[in-house]
Amino acid sequence: MNLKSNKLYLRIIRYVLLILIVISIVYGILRGEVQIVLRNAVNICLDCIGIG
């Protein structure tokens, strides 16, 4: 495969991945993962500081 088609291939991979990533984020938000992130982040994580 020549350099030009390699670059085209890479560009396609980037955009396909970007679309999958956006879908993943939106799906995660819709099913309520954000609340779990917030709940953990606003309470002192005893495990993180070495007490839990």
Question: Can you give the three-state secondary structure of 23-48, one letter per residue?
Answer: HHHHHHHHCCHHHHHHHHHCCCCCCC
Can residue 34 be called a binding residue for other proteins (CB under 8 A)?
A: yes
Least separation, in Å, of the C-beta of 4 and other proteins? 9
**Should residue 32 be labelled a site residue for other proteins when binding is judged by CB under 8 A?**
yes
Residue count (the chain): 52
What distance lies between CA 27 and its chain's CA centroid? 11
* Interface with other proteins (CB under 8 A): 3, 6-7, 10, 13-14, 17-18, 21-25, 27-29, 31-34, 36-38, 40-42, 44-52
